């Protein structure tokens, strides 16, 4: 159960697009289409942004999209806005009723 690997930080200017990677193994990300992404603002509880690799919950902006290739999942934020500045975490089902989170990525809007 090693944490999934994410870049520590990603930045972009308003209006730009950024992509956050999430690298796991063939035992988690590579085996299941159960990758989810969470946004967390300081002092707040996490918020589900993407589930099952690319599905958006009701109410989440379509500027957020997800994908997966092999053992790596990605979250893309298009049309970056100031309110998108937050920490982002990926998460994957890892078999045997267990999950594993990513190391987290701090997104900065320049």
Point out which residues bind other proteins (CB under 8 A).
1, 3, 34, 36, 38, 40, 45-48, 51-52, 57, 87, 89, 91, 93, 96-104
Beta strands in 2-97 (DSSP E): 9-12, 18-23, 35-40, 47-50, 64-69, 72-77, 86-95
Nearer to other proteins, 14 or 47 (CB): 47
Nearest approach, Cβ of 33 to other proteins (angstroms)?
10
- Residue that the structure tokens 């589900």 belong to: 48
In the complex, minimum distance from the CB of residue 36 to other proteins, in angstroms, rounded to a whole number: 4
Are 54 and 65 in contact by the 8 Å Cβ rule? The answer is yes
Q: From residue 12, give the alpha-carbon distance in Å to each of 32, 41, 82.
A: 30, 17, 10
77 vs 102 by CB, closer to other proteins:
102
Q: How far apart are CA 37 and CA 76, in angstroms?
A: 11
Pick 59 or 110: Cβ nearer other proteins: 59
- Judged by beta carbon, residue 32 or residue 63, the one nearer other proteins is 32
């Amino acid at each position: 159960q090693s944490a999934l690997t994410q870049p520590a930080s990603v930045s972009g200017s308003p209006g730009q697009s950024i992509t956050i990677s999430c690298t796991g193994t063939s035992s988690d990300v590579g085996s299941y289409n159960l990758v989810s992404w969470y946004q967390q603002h300081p002092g707040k509880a996490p918020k589900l942004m993407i589930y099952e690799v690319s599905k958006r919950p009701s109410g989440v902006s379509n500027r957020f999209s997800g994908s997966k290739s092999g053992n790596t999942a990605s979250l893309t934020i298009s049309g970056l806005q100031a309110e998108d500045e937050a920490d982002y975490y990926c998460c994957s089902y890892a078999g045997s009723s267990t999950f594993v989170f990513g190391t987290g990525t701090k997104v900065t809007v320049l």
